[in-house]
Amino acid sequence: MALDLNMPILVVDDYQTMVRIIRNLLKQLGFEEVDDASDGTAALAKLKNRKYGLVISDWNMEPMTGYELLRHVRADEGLRTTPFIMVTAESKTENVIAAKKAGVNNYIVKPFNAATLKSKIEAVCGA
């Protein structure tokens, strides 16, 4: 199955420069439908209003972290199956294990490039 370049993607990060970087990488890969949210609370509101094909979320955010967002998404009947990629600057084993247990589909450690992002999206969304 090829990647659906028309699927809407939600990028969640409280650092606007990182949102811009991920948005640009996604555009390089051919994705056009990219929304963003500045934290988990804002992301949940957007997830309630639109069906996203993928969520790419930073781990470290205030007031709701990416990990807490992931737990909310997995606990919600309507959102449970939404593919979720966690992005973080920390590659702590316990974080990776916690995210896996919470139901993350994939994990990216910063910094990363378009090729890395593409391979993670393909692994999650099937290519």
pTM: 0.95
Q: Could you tell me the residue ranges of all domains in the chain?
A: 9-112
List phi, psi (to 5°) of 27: -65, -40
State residue 28's pLDDT score: 96
CA dihedral 54, 86, 94, 48 (to 10 degrees): -60
* The architecture CATH gives domain 9-112: 3-Layer(aba) Sandwich (3.40)
Can you read off the two tokens belonging to residue 119? 């391979």
Summarised one tens digit per residue, pLDDT across range 32-68 is 999 999 999 999 999 999 999 999 999 999 999 999 9
How far is Cα 124 from Cα 83, in angstroms, rounded to an integer? 6
Half-sphere exposure of residue 119: CA atoms within 13 angstroms, side-chain side = 6
pLDDT-flagged residues of the chain (< 70): 1, 127
State residue 127's pLDDT score: 56
Q: Is 29 helix (H, G, I), strand (E, B) or coil?
A: coil
- 53 neighbors 22 (Cβ within 8 angstroms): no
Can you read off the two tokens belonging to residue 37? 């949210």
In the sheet that holds 54-58, the strands lie side by side as: 34-37, 9-12, 54-58, 84-88, 106-109
List phi, psi (to 5°) of 79: -110, -15
